[in-house]
């Protein structure tokens, strides 16, 4: 390695380190302030907690009591997990079908599904919430169906790109051995889709878990998810319990960070493979 390459690598490391610090700084500031008394957060937002400002776990306890955190966590969990699992299953099957079955119908289905990604949510949110009410989808089970519609576009697009990279000979051999389409998908194709399945799962889990607007419009106060519950820490006339708010934000992001860290090694592999052109 010559000097030019060393300098280039050093510059890249410095740049990426600075970039990582920029992204991590807001989380670290929130974490730091979650252990301070609320009156010190505004005055000393960037100072580490000390003997005077230290509040211990009081913010976490108060926040959990005020917003009913365990109940909100339950609703977020029963909406996010089934939504992600069913999205991965249904969109992978759809992508495999429209990729392998060549024809105008399958091609039209693919373009219609992918076209849904370019429609801004704000264009359909009022009519969608009205239809959800008419069809009795304004509950945790119903909102899962709505998430299928909004999440299908990107998921099918990524799965379809990955399926194109799978050698067709593998499926042909399984078919000759007597596999029917259902056995072929679940025994041969779906295991091969593991990298992109994890990528799609992470992207959808991060979106659904942190989503505020869709649950607020569809299920509102009846089934408060964590993002909806957190907003109720703001009182009248703009007053808010900043300590409890910081603590609840930390508790809200911990599950999704753990899930991301467990699966992040598959993200790049899945995204790159999903970019393969047929």
CA atoms within 13 A on the CB side of 189: 28
Q: Nearest-CA neighbor of 34 among 271, 204, 266, 252? A: 252
Which of these CATH numbers, 2.102.10.10, 2.60.120.10, 1.10.3720.10, 3.40.190.10, describes 60-274? 1.10.3720.10
Write out pLDDT tens, residues 5-56.
Answer: 788 888 888 999 999 899 888 889 989 988 888 778 877 788 888 888 888 8
Which has the minimum average pLDDT: 14-23, 114-123, 138-147? Answer: 114-123
Write out pLDDT tens, residues 218-258.
Answer: 987 788 999 998 888 776 555 677 888 889 989 998 988 88
Q: What is the CB neighbour count within 10 angstroms for residue 274? A: 22
The answer to whether residue 275 scores a pLDDT higher than 60 is no
The confidence band for 146, taking pLDDT boundaries of 50, 70 and 90, is: very high
Rg (CA), the chain: 23
- How far apart CA 88 and CA 195 sit, in angstroms, is 12
């Amino acid at each position: 390695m010559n000097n030019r390459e060393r300098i280039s690598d050093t510059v890249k490391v410095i740049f990426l380190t600075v970039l990582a610090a920029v992204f991590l700084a807001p989380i670290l500031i929130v974490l730091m302030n979650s252990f301070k008394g609320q009156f010190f957060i505004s005055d000393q937002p960037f100072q580490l907690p000390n003997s005077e400002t230290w509040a211990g776990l009081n913010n976490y306890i108060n926040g959990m009591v005020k917003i009913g955190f365990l109940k909100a966590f339950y609703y977020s969990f029963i909406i996010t997990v089934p939504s992600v699992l069913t999205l991965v299953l249904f969109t992978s099957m759809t992508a495999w079908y429209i990729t392998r079955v060549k024809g105008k119908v399958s091609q039209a289905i693919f373009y219609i599904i992918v076209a849904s990604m370019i429609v801004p949510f704000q264009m359909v949110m009022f009519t969608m919430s009205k239809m959800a009410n008419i069809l009795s989808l304004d509950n945790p089970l119903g909102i899962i169906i709505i998430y299928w519609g909004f999440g299908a576009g990107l998921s099918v697009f990524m799965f379809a790109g990955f399926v194109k990279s799978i050698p067709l000979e593998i499926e042909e051999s399984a078919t000759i051995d007597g596999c029917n389409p259902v056995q072929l998908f679940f025994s041969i194709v779906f295991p091969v889709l593991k990298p992109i399945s994890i990528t799609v799962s992470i992207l959808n889990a991060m979106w659904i878990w942190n989503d505020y607007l869709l649950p607020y419009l569809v299920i509102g106060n009846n089934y408060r998810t964590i993002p909806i519950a957190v907003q109720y820490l703001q009182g009248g006339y703009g007053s808010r319990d900043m300590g409890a708010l910081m603590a609840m934000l930390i508790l809200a992001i911990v599950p999704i960070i753990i899930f991301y860290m467990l699966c992040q090694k598959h993200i790049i592999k899945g995204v790159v493979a999903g970019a393969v052109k047929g």
